[in-house]
Amino acid sequence: MYVRKNIRFGVVWSLSWRSLLLFTLYDSAICLLYEYGGVRWIDIPWSPVATLGTAVAFYIGFKSNGSYDRFWEGRQLWGTIVNVSRTWSIRVFHFVEPMAGDRLPDSEDVRDLHQRLLYRQIAWVNALRLHLRRETVELWDAEVAPFLDPAEDADVRRMSNPPTHLLRQQSDELRQLHQRGLLTEFRHVAMMDTIQDMFNAQGGCERIKNTPFPRQYAFFSFVFVWVFAAVLPLGLVAEFAKMGPGHIWLMVPFAVLVSGVFNTIELVGHTSENPFENQMNDVPMTAICRSIEIDLRELLGETELPPKTEPVKDVLF
């Protein structure tokens, strides 16, 4: 997610210089043909060009709105994951405890239980991030495995959907705690409701990830913008020629400007279609996961915590 208030010119230029170069070359060629080649039949009335531009503006506006809705829904789902992780941690601390007169085995205490349940939650949010981004095993070793028992890690990492199996492990442990008398029936149900909230958030993220933006909108938006860029100088060339000798060349910067604006709007929509690709305009899942890790480990009383994720070249990943 780009966090700087003003987008740097270098970022804009890196995304648009190729299209601007093509627009400049094409518009200049139209001027050359019209002014020096005597090809006067290429000019067309401005009215149909303006009508086409209006239609294209509505179409790419619709695409941009749809793309932003996908991004915003993804960000809301990860906001839910933050909240449900905090809820889980508080319920772990307040619900998982021996009943009056009960004793834990000598090899285990309440803090060990709390740490295991919270560490598995940290592993889940990181595993979900890696699952959505289709990232590598090396990142799993660094960001998920340290929070799991080695045997559990070996079992989960080979699954096709590791986050789902981590939540199943949480559910299994809750069942065992209930059977041992460390979790009352009411508290067991409440914590299972929290796991259900996690599944709902995970399912929402997977729905966005596995359902691409409708290609008919994405493809034709791109086509219509370039069709408009192709006919725009044909409608402007005669208008600028009427202004007097040499004024025809003013058509080039104006046509490039208008075409560039339309192309930029289309590009903004395109880069927001898939919010879980680890790109510049995506949901900052790495930063969110780190924030959850810090919160939960602070609740455990730990002091050696990782730093917050900082933007890299104004982009928060």
- The three state secondary structure string of the chain is CECCCCCCHHHHHHHHHHHHHHHHHHHHHHHHHHHCCCCHHHCCCHHHHHHHHHHHHHHHHHHHHHHHHHHHHHHHHHHHHHHHHHHHHHHHHHHCCCCCCCCCCCCCCHHHHHHHHHHHHHHHHHHHHHHHHCCCHHHHHHHCHHHCCHHHHHHHCCCCCHHHHHHHHHHHHHHHHHHCCCCCHHHHHHHHHHHHHHHHHHHHHHHHHHCCCCHHHHHHHHHHHHHHHHHHHHHHHHHHHCCCCCHHHHHHHHHHHHHHHHHHHHHHHHHCCCCCCCCCCCCCHHHHHHHHHHHHHHHCCCCCCCCCCCCECCECC
Q: First vs last Cα of the chain: how many Å apart?
A: 6
Average pLDDT over the chain, rounded to an integer: 85
What the block records as the tokens of 312 is 């890299």
Question: Measured in whole angstroms, how far is the alpha carbon of residue 298 from the centre of its chain?
Answer: 27
What the block records as the tokens of 152 is 């559990």
d(CA 72, CA 62): 15
pLDDT at 2 over 70: no
d(CA 192, CA 244): 77
What the block records as the tokens of 292 is 């959850």
Q: What is the pTM of this model?
A: 0.84
Report the percentage of the chain scoring pLDDT > 90.
31
Report the percentage of the chain scoring pLDDT > 70.
95
Beta pairing partners, 312:
315
d(CA 100, CA 103): 9
Reported as a single tens digit per residue, the pLDDT across 75-102 is: 999 999 999 999 999 999 988 877 655 5
Determine the longest span between alpha carbons in the chain, in angstroms.
101
d(CA 306, CA 292): 11
Confirm if 19 and 12 have CB atoms less than 8 A apart.
no
Confirm if 208 and 73 have CB atoms less than 8 A apart.
yes
d(CA 228, CA 230): 5
pLDDT band for position 204 (cuts 50, 70, 90): very high
d(CA 105, CA 114): 15
Q: Which of 83-97, 133-147, 204-218, 232-246 has the lowest mean pLDDT?
A: 232-246
pLDDT at 73 over 70: yes
pLDDT band for position 189 (cuts 50, 70, 90): very high
- Fill in the amino acid letter for 290: R
Confirm if 35 and 248 have CB atoms less than 8 A apart.
yes
Q: What angle do CA 180, 181, 185 make, to 5 degrees?
A: 120
Reported as a single tens digit per residue, the pLDDT across 113-137 is: 899 999 999 999 999 999 998 877 7
pLDDT at 299 over 50: yes
